[in-house]
Amino acid sequence: MVSWNVWIQAARLRTLPLAFAVIALGTGLAFKVNENLHWGIFALAVFTAFAYQVLSNYANDLGDGLRGTDDHRTGEKRAIASGLITADQMRRAVHLWTVLSLFGGGGLSFLAFQERIPLLVLFSLLNVAAVLAARSYTMGPNPYAYWGGGDVFVFLFFGLVGVLGSGSLYGSLHWSFILPALVAGAYSAAVLTLNNLRDVETDAVAGKRTLVVRFGYKWGRGYFKGLLIISNVLSLLFALYWALLDGNQILLLFHIGYGILLSRVVFIRFARARDAAALDTLLKPMALMTLLYCVGTAVALNF
């Protein structure tokens, strides 16, 4: 029997803030225009997002573990590579969380759109797509993490689909909400890029062709900086728009304060991080800063 602590460690808790961040931002955006929340929808959305993330992390552990990609990885040890969980045990866990994710997303779609059949069908299909994306990151005959598609999927599901999709559960949205959704997706892609920069050497040996492996370590560092800079510009545009539209100065002040904090907590430290161990220490701060942006934007927008 594998202890609960091992399963919790394999779930990679430091990535879970990204799952909640998407729901928090989408809910806050929706509240701005609808001013009504269905707490049952919110609770089920949070559970479904966590289920997607745990499924993705377990499937990632299984896929990389079977290929030997994790054998010499820096940072927290993966369960299969360290021998704490067998491949068969992890495979059963992946199947379990697949079922939980499908039921969670299916129930969420029905709860939100039971009287609007076209939207019910659309969100049911998105639920299946999210589950397939979570499973096939490193699993299957042609996992997209191994040919460089990880950034695109993370950007979509932690950005446009995740934020605007969760917000749509409560009703219609404002067109400007595309901007913070893009920011959330870019920050999530930045977390993935840190991970890929840390693992660039072992990924290359294992044949995992991430964008950093494809285009080089130097390109990857510039790509990470670009994600942060572009996100900050989009966030500023969003804050300025709502300051002009309804006089919301709190959102603008939050953006300024967040930009300063991001520079000190991540940007400056990243400029000094030159090895895998140093890059690994930035993963948790970057995930938490993404969470702070999403929650802070949701609150400031409605202040």
Please give the structure tokens belonging to residue 29: 């955006």
What pLDDT is recorded for position 81?
A: 84
Contact 60, 138 (CB under 8 A): yes
What pLDDT is recorded for position 206?
A: 85
Residue 70 has pLDDT above 70, yes or no: no
Domain residue extents for the chain = 4-301
Q: How far apart are CA 154 and CA 159, in angstroms?
A: 8
Contact 164, 35 (CB under 8 A): no
Q: How far apart are CA 85 and CA 62, in angstroms?
A: 10
Residue 25 has pLDDT above 90, yes or no: yes
What pLDDT is recorded for position 71?
A: 66
Contact 90, 108 (CB under 8 A): no
Global pTM exceeds 0.85 = yes
Residues 195-224: tens digit of each pLDDT: 999 999 988 988 899 999 999 999 999 999
pLDDT tier at 285 (50, 70, 90 boundaries)?
A: very high
103, with CB counted inside 10 A (0-12, 13-18, 19+), is: middle
Residues 84-114: tens digit of each pLDDT: 899 999 999 999 999 999 999 999 999 999 9
User: What CA–CA distances, in Å, run from 230 to 110, 180, 237, 253?
Assistant: 36, 12, 11, 19
Residues 131-144: tens digit of each pLDDT: 999 999 988 888 99
C-beta neighbour count of 84 within 10 angstroms: 18
Residue 2 has pLDDT above 80, yes or no: no
